[in-house]
């Protein structure tokens, strides 16, 4: 099997087999019926293996809080998993998320920009490579790999990790679109049910459209139900009356 020796280290990455197989696994996961969490876990696990890294992590951007939060990692360290989120511009990942370009650190303990030095020491983290996850030029998170020995990441490795990050970004964007579509569909179904229920109340009780809406809204609030639940109950009740008649 062909291998490529990486400059500045004695580590070797499989040039044809491992990388192609890893990217193939990720590609298959993207089109599978797996849940998002499972796909992201597969991505970090496969990436950690092919990049020979001790820890691989995906952090996603919370646009409201403007901070990066760990979403997936193959690390079993509770201290690492539970570390606090990073603000935009904070630490290495925060810098990558703002500049939208890869950053590597040869010696983490000597880096003033790496925030969690205590965790790095305990976990034996020596070097890191962090690349952005972006969709249409907009950063949505970062993908980071850590090594247990100091290592100069090559352009070749950076390109591999960026390719993986781009695939992860596709997964996340597809998921966002699916959720968005479901939300829109749900809103339409809610409106249809409420409109139908309003019509029933207007006809049966001689109320105006606004009065009928407020009647449904008040009942929902008083009984801690959603307006759709109340609307569907009204519709079912009306249909039962028709059947009885």
User: Angle, nearest 10°, between helix axes 227-244 and 155-205?
Assistant: 40
Q: What is the pLDDT of residues 96-133, one digit of tens each?
A: 999 999 999 999 999 999 999 999 999 999 999 999 99
pLDDT given at position 33: 58
The answer to whether residue 71 scores a pLDDT higher than 50 is yes
Q: What is the pLDDT of residues 220-235, one digit of tens each?
A: 999 998 988 999 899 9
Phi, psi of 67 (to 5 degrees): -145, 155
Residue 126 is given by DSSP the state: -
pLDDT given at position 190: 87
Instruction: Please give, one letter per residue, the 3-state secondary structure of 43-77.
Output: HHHHHHHHCCCCEEEEEEEECCCCEEEEEEECCCC
Q: What is the pLDDT of residues 129-152, one digit of tens each?
A: 999 999 888 999 999 999 999 999
Q: What is the pLDDT of residues 3-55, one digit of tens each?
A: 444 443 444 454 545 666 666 666 666 656 567 888 888 889 888 888 888 99
What domains, with CATH codes, occur in the chain?
Answer: 3-179 (3.30.450.40), 181-244 (1.10.10.10)
Burial tier of 15 (Cβ tally within 10 Å: 0-12, 13-18, 19+): middle
């Amino acid at each position: 099997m062909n291998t490529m020796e990486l400059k500045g280290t004695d580590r070797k990455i499989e040039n044809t087999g491992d990388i192609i197989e890893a990217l193939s696994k990720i590609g298959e996961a993207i089109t599978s019926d797996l849940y998002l969490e499972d796909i992201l876990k597969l991505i970090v696990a496969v990436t950690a293996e092919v990049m020979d890294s001790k820890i691989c992590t995906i952090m996603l951007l919370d646009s409201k809080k403007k901070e990066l939060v760990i979403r997936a990692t193959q690390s079993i360290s509770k201290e690492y998993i539970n570390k606090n989120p990073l603000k935009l511009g904070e630490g290495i990942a925060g810098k990558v998320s703002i500049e939208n370009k890869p950053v590597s650190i040869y010696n983490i303990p000597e880096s003033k920009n790496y925030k969690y030095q205590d965790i790095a020491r305990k976990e034996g983290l020596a070097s890191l490579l962090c690349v952005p996850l972006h969709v249409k030029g907009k950063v949505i998170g970062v993908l980071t790999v850590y090594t247990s020995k100091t290592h100069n990441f090559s352009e070749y490795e950076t390109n591999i990790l960026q390719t993986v990050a781009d695939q992860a970004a596709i997964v996340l964007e597809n998921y966002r679109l699916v959720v968005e579509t479901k939300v829109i569909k749900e809103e339409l179904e809610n409106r249809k049910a409420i409109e139908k229920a309003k019509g029933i109340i207007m006809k049966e009780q001689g109320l105006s459209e606004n009065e009928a809406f407020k009647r449904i809204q008040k009942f929902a609030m008083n009984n801690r139900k959603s307006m759709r639940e109340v609307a569907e109950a009204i519709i079912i009740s009306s249909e039962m009356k028709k059947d009885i008649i």
